[in-house]
Amino acid sequence: MKFHHIFRNWKDICEVDAGQVIFAEGDPADAMYFILSGEVELNLGGESFAVESSDGMIGETALLGSGSRSGTATARTDARLARLDREQLRQLMGSDTDFALHVMAGFANRLRAVDTFISTHLGHKPRDAG
């Protein structure tokens, strides 16, 4: 609940029911979501990959501004989400360094999980650091 104050008057709030698909693999990645309440499960190729709850984020690769969803996000419980596009995130991060660090930590944790998945499941084909 640490960053909820940022979204107190947010215009773009989504309320989803348990079981609802928030976005599906292959959908255009146009925004990310900050979780205000509830739990959301991320699936990669049908395999459960992560569960995010309050103060967590999903859909963060949308920050690159283009591309499609790599996985499917499904609400495990009724949930309340704040939807953010790239520009909105840039403004929030610019005005709140603690929030910027929190978002970065979320990215870093996701990257750790994906890298671990790669190193345990796949061969050693290198990816471009970008």
Least distance to other proteins, CB of residue 93, Å: 5
The answer to whether 74 and 49 have CB atoms below 8 angstroms apart is no
From residue 99, how far is each of 4, 55, 89, 107 by CA, in Å? 10, 10, 10, 12
What's the CA gap between 44 and 58, in Å, rounded?
A: 13
Q: Which amino acid, residue 86?
A: R
43 binds other proteins (CB under 8 A): no
Interface characters, 66-95, with other proteins (x: CB under 8 A) = -x--xx-----------------xx--xx-
**Considering only residues 6, 14, 50, 114, which one is a binding residue for other proteins as defined by CB under 8 A?**
114
**Identity of the residue, 36 or 92, whose beta carbon is nearer to other proteins in the bound complex:** 92
Tell me the sheet residues that pair with 37. Answer: 80
Least distance to other proteins, CB of residue 57, Å: 12
User: For residue 125, how many C-alpha atoms fall within 13 Å in the half-sphere facing its CB?
Assistant: 4
**Contact positions toward other proteins, by CB under 8 A?**
44-45, 60-61, 63-64, 67, 70-71, 89-90, 93-94, 97, 100-101, 103-105, 107-112, 114-130
